[in-house]
C-alpha cells in the first residue's frame, strides 16, 4: 500500500542493490486480521504475509529482565535515599 504510506525510503544495501521500505501508520482494531502484500520482480506472484502480533518467548525474556532490573534499581535508590536521610539526621 503506497497510497496511504507515511514514508517511502530507498535504502542502499552497499552491494549495488537497493531496498524500498514503505511505512504505514495504522491502529488496528480488536480482532482485526492484518496482512501485507509484497510485490517483487523475483516473485511469480505477490506474496501475502499475515501479521502475528504475539510476542516471542525471547522478547518476553528481555522484557522480564528489563523490568526486574528497573525494580531492583528503584529499590536500591529508595534504600540509598533512606540511608542518606537517616545519616544526615544524626
Judge whether 10 and 20 are in contact, CB under 8 Å: yes
Instruction: Tell me the pLDDT tens digit for each residue of 31-59.
Output: 888 888 888 888 999 999 998 878 888 88
pLDDT at 9 over 80: no
Q: What is the pLDDT of residue 5?
A: 63
Residue 64 CA, chain-centre distance (Å), reads: 15
Neighbours of 63 (CB within 10 A): 11
**Least confident segment among 51-55, 64-68, 78-82:** 51-55
Query: Could you tell me the pLDDT band of residue 1, with boundaries at 50, 70 and 90?
Result: very low
Q: Residue 77: what pLDDT?
A: 98
Amino acid at each position: 500500500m503506497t497510497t496511504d504510506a507515511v514514508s517511502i525510503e530507498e535504502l542502499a544495501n552497499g552491494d549495488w542493490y537497493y531496498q524500498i521500505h514503505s511505512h504505514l501508520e495504522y491502529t488496528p482494531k480488536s480482532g482485526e486480521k492484518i496482512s501485507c502484500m509484497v510485490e517483487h520482480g523475483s516473485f511469480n506472484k505477490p506474496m501475502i504475509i499475515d501479521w502475528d502480533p504475539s510476542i516471542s518467548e525471547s522478547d518476553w525474556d528481555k522484557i522480564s529482565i528489563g523490568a526486574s532490573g528497573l525494580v531492583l534499581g528503584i529499590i536500591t535508590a529508595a534504600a540509598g535515599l533512606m540511608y542518606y536521610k537517616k545519616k544526615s539526621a544524626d
